[in-house]
Structure 1
Amino acid sequence: MALIPVILAAANVNVVVVDWSAGANAINYRIVNWNSVSSGEAVARFIDWVNDITGSNPGQYHIIGHGVGGHQAGVVGRNVKGQIDYITGLDPALIGWVNNIDRFAPNDALYTEVIHTNYGVNGYLADLAQVDFYPNGGISMPGCGSNECDHARSFFYFAESITSGGFTGRECLNYYAAVLRMCDFHSGRLQMGGLTPKLGKTGVYFLETNPAPPFSQG
């Protein structure tokens, strides 16, 4: 499911796609991660320029990033002084980010959300945002036979959340409980994804998905 057409069909918005492939194609992970920070800082400067020219404000933006781009989205928000309305991290990357001060952080925007689908391999293990979702425990997705497929599922789940809004997470005590699928004793419920920030919400949530579209179980 292509994300841009889904967003444009759901809302009257402008979509800006950042092509940082020149910096993302290095073999060395350290260089890629460094480039992602530089790129994120450049995007933040672009947003400030657009706002100065048009009279727009950071509260009108929703930044979305996948993998290394998930951390990059956080860098953007941080450099717009945390005033971006909404940042979504789609399975932010693991390698090189555990002790990295530039990794995704809860206060990078007014509302931050992360969807974990391949923790400990391609994706970051621990919670990173104000709200973190761990579909199917966060590592192995139904219908997938590889880590690459698991990692990509965050993208597809988010796209479907815009069209259906049907992913309902159950609150967990912490991300350990989400990974172990031990979240039945907590009553909190929250919808995953979508284009509307859930301002004021926090916590870790678990949900199950179908192996093929529609992935949502309601």
Structure 2
Amino acid sequence: MKTNYLIHEEMYVQARQAGWEGWGGNERIFKPMLVERFLALEGRPTQGKLLELGCGEGHHCRAFCQQGFEVTGVDISETAILWAKEKAQSEGVAGTYYVADLTAESLELTERYDVVIDGNCLHCIIRNDRTTFLNHVYRLLSEKGTFFVSSLCSKDTNSYHIYKDGYAYRCIPSKESLVSELERAGFEVRKVQVYERDTSNHITVCAVKA
């Protein structure tokens, strides 16, 4: 199954050229549902080091920083990371941003984080690369650290892929498959919430490094 993760760089270039504020258009930037869903969790961390995977132009990171977290964002797209740095500077919001391929075995991040946020990134990761991705998350989390997943999800028990330009573009796991993946990677799943949508559903999972 062929993958082309750098398609996200192309799409960020297109977003900037279109005059959007970020990935997927302005509405997604001005309504950061991921942040609201994390903040609504009972017993969630309220401070500490937070890493967002697939941070894009940093709108989630900036929102978490304003909630008192020390934020770091990573993305495979150089355009996205440059954009995130520009926005953080122009808005006077602290944050550290790196270009990183989360499917690379040689990922060089060495910090430990109290919270890792999947910024709608995991559903962009395909097949065996997901194991590498989740192993990195486990390594990067501090003991008992929180992993918050925000992902597309199938509407039944079947998992499948979406393709774009001949490449696998999205992994749409079932709820059961995603929970099993996290448990195999060493996480204790604490809370699962599925949000019904017209095509694929959306899911959030709060897990802890066991």
TM-score, with structure 2 as normaliser? 0.35
Instruction: Select the structure that is richer in strand.
Output: 2
TM-score, with structure 1 as normaliser? 0.34
